[in-house]
Amino acid sequence: MGRAAEMLGVTPAFLRSLDATKLIVPQRSPGGHRRYSRYQLRLAQRARDLVDQGTPLEAACRIIILEDQLAEAQRINAQLQRERQRT
């Protein structure tokens, strides 16, 4: 966690708060240390950017979740459009 916090320029408490809001739930090492994926680090960076702009943490997490859902819906829509064009 310390290394991830250092990379993002945040405190470990900030990363714990993202875990508490369920935005990112890191894997745990056998010793209980949090392990973050690159994707989770990108989400944490996005959350930091929004919070730095004055967005409350809970709102920032909700925005990120909605952005992620929209991107997934757009991906599915594009895939369905491609399949439809083939027939």
pLDDT tens for the chain, 87 residues: list them.
889 999 999 999 999 999 999 999 999 999 999 999 999 999 999 999 999 999 999 999 999 999 999 999 999 999 999 999 997
Q: How far apart are the first and last CA of the chain?
A: 50
The predicted pLDDT at position 1 comes to: 85
Whether this prediction's pTM lies above 0.75 is answered by: yes
The predicted pLDDT at position 11 comes to: 95
Cβ partners under 8 Å of residue 64, min gap 6 = 23, 43, 46, 47, 50
